[in-house]
Amino acid sequence: MRDFKKFEVWQLSHQLTLKIYTSTGSFPKEEIFGLTSQIRRSFASIGYNISEAAEFR
């Protein structure tokens, strides 16, 4: 298995995910389980998918 953390695309996606978590922190509290959660999960899935793909290379 390759170390996916060495891939530039994973590093960029991780940085983006961290920015999204920071940005969505100021969303209204009533959206924490709706829109905020959905946005965070969608960006986090980018890195997850890259790491899973690295397992099969």
Question: What are 25-34's pLDDT values in tens digits?
Answer: 999 999 888 9
In three-state form (DSSP H/G/I as H, E/B as E, the rest C), the secondary structure along 16-56 is: HHHHHHHHHCCCCHHHCCCHHHHHHHHHHHHHHHHHHHHHC
Residue 46's pLDDT is what? 96
- pLDDT, one tens digit per residue, over 42-57 is 999 999 999 999 887 6
